[in-house]
Amino acid sequence: MARRKPKRLPAAKRKEQLLDCALALFARVGYARATTAQLARAAGVTEPIIYRHFASKRDLFVALIQRTAKRTLQNWEDRLENVKDPPERLRRILGDNPMTHGGSEEYRVVLQAITEVDDEEVSKAVAKHFSDLHKFLTRELALAQEHRKLGRVFSAELIAWILIDVGLGYGVLDALQVPKQGEDREGVRVRDVMERLLVRA
């Protein structure tokens, strides 16, 4: 039986489709074990079509990290649109850890970059993502400090790194499916502690 030709899609849509399929595949079997042949089957295309859009599996992985970074910041920008009150802006950020809300599958894949740290392009993509994330959080924290809704004992830059460190730790344990992590027997969560420490009504 002859194989059906893949449906033609505009280049931008095909690229997004391949990224979506790669995300699902990498989340299921891991970046290192996934092959372009598996990706081609999942996407319903031939391998040459993949290489028409991405020079290598590594380039596809880098594009996935970049897309995750863009989506994370866009999601936060959308959540903060029309919210002027600095404490409420901080609450929304604290309550929307991308590692566990909405983007958890994407971040499960981003975490696989740990095994690829010696790859310069992967390392650069990850570093840029967290640098951009840090700038965003620093801006929001500095705004809260200017309005005296956040203490100035520590700099906005350092608090931003603390939030990233805590968020990553929480997200890793969530990805590892550690039960009841991040909360005590009374149901008080890490997020509640961070909010109480940081946000002045």
Distances (CA, A) of 70 to 16, 46, 106, 171: 14, 28, 12, 18
pLDDT of residue 155: 95
Every domain of the chain with CATH number 1.10.10.60 lies at: 7-54
CATH number among 2.130.10.10, 3.30.750.24, 1.10.10.60, 3.90.25.10, domain 7-54: 1.10.10.60
At 102, is the pLDDT very low, low, confident or very high (cuts 50, 70, 90)? low
Least confident of 15-19, 103-107, 128-132, 183-187: 103-107
Every domain of the chain with CATH number 1.10.357.10 lies at: 58-198
pLDDT of 79 > 50? The answer is yes
CATH of domain 58-198: 1.10.357.10
53 backbone dihedrals φ, ψ, rounded to 5°: -105, -30
pLDDT in tens, 148-186: 888 888 999 999 999 999 888 887 887 788 888 888 999
115-149 as b/e: b if 16+ CB within 10 A: ebeeeeebeebbeebeeebeebbbebbbebbeeeb
pLDDT of 200 > 70? The answer is yes
Cα 77 to Cα 72: distance, rounded to the nearest angstrom: 9
Token readout for 69 is 């970074």
Percent with pLDDT over 90 in the chain: 45
Question: Beta-carbon neighbour count of residue 186 at 10 Å?
Answer: 6
pLDDT in tens, 22-57: 999 998 998 999 999 999 999 999 999 999 999 999
pTM given for the model: 0.84
